[in-house]
């Protein structure tokens, strides 16, 4: 039983750590009574299981705290949110200088901003597509959504487009694209239907 507890303690799943912890306690109890051997393995299983449970708890707390923080930012219309949680109508005060970002600062569109999300979509491509294909599909998708939001074809508009898209190799985790309208000067209000 001590061996089983030790083996289970190495499996990084919450339930296996709990089972290993229980088995280690049972073994230690039997060792004290002289009914079993394996005290060293049981102690090791106990320590490893406790460490896994602490790590899992810390990760859950961090994830929940981050989710609450982003929910508060979304509700207030201002603050930092994950790019995977961007929605049409979100406005940003700064366009990222790279597409390799994980968070952006949103602001209410009634306040001065330099970008507004006008479309989000998932790429319809092979999960191991190269970066040129990802970039081309993201740009084509953003251009195809432009007229429906602005009310004017992209080729005739003065508004520029910026997009955040996944990087090669990350399509199995996230295949979402966020398309932004950008303007050189700070804008207030939405550009939806502006025909600019």
- Between 74 and 46, whose confidence is greater? 46
Give me the chain's average pLDDT, please. 84
In whole angstroms, what is the distance from residue 94 CA to residue 105 CA?
Answer: 8
Which range has the worst mean pLDDT, 45-59, 92-106, 113-127?
92-106
Q: Which residues contact 26 (CB under 8 A, 6 or more apart)?
A: 1
Q: Is the pLDDT of residue 13 over 80?
A: no
**pLDDT single digits (tens) 29-43:** 888 888 888 888 889
The H or E element that residue 58 is part of is helix 39-76
Q: Is the pLDDT of residue 73 over 80?
A: no
Contact assessment for residue 89 and residue 117, using Cβ atoms and an 8 Å cutoff: yes
- Between 180 and 101, whose confidence is greater? 180
Predicted pLDDT at 185 = 66
Domain boundary assignment for the chain: 2-71, 77-187
How many helices (H) and strands (E) the chain has is answered by: 4, 6
Predicted pLDDT at 149 = 94
- Between 150 and 72, whose confidence is greater? 150
* Strand, coil or helix: 50: helix
Predicted pLDDT at 173 = 65
pTM, full prediction: 0.65
Instruction: Output DSSP code: residue 35.
Output: S
In whole angstroms, what is the distance from residue 100 CA to residue 102 CA?
Answer: 7
């Amino acid at each position: 039983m001590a061996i089983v507890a030790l083996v289970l303690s190495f499996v990084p799943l919450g339930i296996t750590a709990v089972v290993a912890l229980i088995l280690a306690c049972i073994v230690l109890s039997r060792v004290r009574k002289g009914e079993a051997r394996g005290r060293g393995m049981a102690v090791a299983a106990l320590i490893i299981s406790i460490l896994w449970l602490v790590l899992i708890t810390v990760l859950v707390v961090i994830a929940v705290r981050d989710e609450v923080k982003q929910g508060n930012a979304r509700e207030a219309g201002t603050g930092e949110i994950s790019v995977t949680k961007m929605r049409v109508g979100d406005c940003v005060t700064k366009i990222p200088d790279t597409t390799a970002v994980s968070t952006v600062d949103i602001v209410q569109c009634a306040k001065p901003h330099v970008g507004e999300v006008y479309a989000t979509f998932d790429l319809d491509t092979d999960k191991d597509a190269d970066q040129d294909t990802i970039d081309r599909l993201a740009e084509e998708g953003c251009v195809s959504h432009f007229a429906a939001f602005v009310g004017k074809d992209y080729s005739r508009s003065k508004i520029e487009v910026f997009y955040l898209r996944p990087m090669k190799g990350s399509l199995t985790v996230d295949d979402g694209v966020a398309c932004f309208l950008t303007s050189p000067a700070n804008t207030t209000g939405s550009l939806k239907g502006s025909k600019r």
